[in-house]
Structure 1
Amino acid sequence: MRNPPKPEDIAIGARIRRRRMLIGMSQEKLGERLGITFQQIQKYEKGTNRISGSRILQVANVLDVPPQWLLVGDEGAEGGELPGGDHYCREAWRMVAALPSPQAKAAALHALKAITTAFEAPALQPEPA
């Protein structure tokens, strides 16, 4: 009989799954990039198979996060949870994360800032006394 997954392995797998989904990558695509099957990705994400140090480095590289984030997490750091994660925020995040270069991401950020400025509520004027 197999030993149950360790909490640490489950946590690492959950971070892999969260980041993979956040950037809109399928298990198949991640497996392909790592040279393994999607079934192996499923086992990693569930914590049923442990991940070697070299594999953690590979996964971190493909998911574009620091390896230590996969190991210890940091929900406020890059690669973590989305603040205010409604559908629109998650979709915008996925779209920007999928852009191919830092220049494209910077351009998207600039466009989002312009949109935000255009839709800001006008400042409230104090009522005359």
Structure 2
Amino acid sequence: MANSTQSALVFEIGEMIVEDPSVDAQPWEAISLVATYEDDGEELLGYRYLGGGGYEAVAPQNFDDLMDKLLELRQVMSEEVEGLWVQCLLQVSKPNYDFRVQYEYDDVQRWAPKSMSSTMADFAETLRPTIP
């Protein structure tokens, strides 16, 4: 990352995720969160990946603060790149707390469920980080 403000914001966002009480409520191996910003609102969804291949939906307790920090990052990035990203995928993997962020500028459905199911297993698997 070329911009030190951008780098600091990404680091702070990573800390907010792993230190959130609802995220860290039980042992986990990885976390994936998708933030989506559209004209009519914002959304954050994601999963905590457990040992043995299991997963469960996770909703950070600090949702408002996290979304505000992501909005701040989005604005800082827009000063360097034409346009605002519409989605970002945030992934944290243990044991080293590797943090990966990907941005989508065009397709607001890139990291969205392709079909609804009672378990959402397929969608959860598409977001699962590769654990080293």
Bin of the TM-score, shorter chain as denominator length: 0.3 to 0.5
TM-score (norm 2): 0.32
Question: Which one has a bigger Cα radius of gyration?
Answer: 1
Normalized per residue, the structure richer in strand is 2
Q: Which has the higher helix share?
A: 1
TM score, norm. by length of structure 1: 0.33
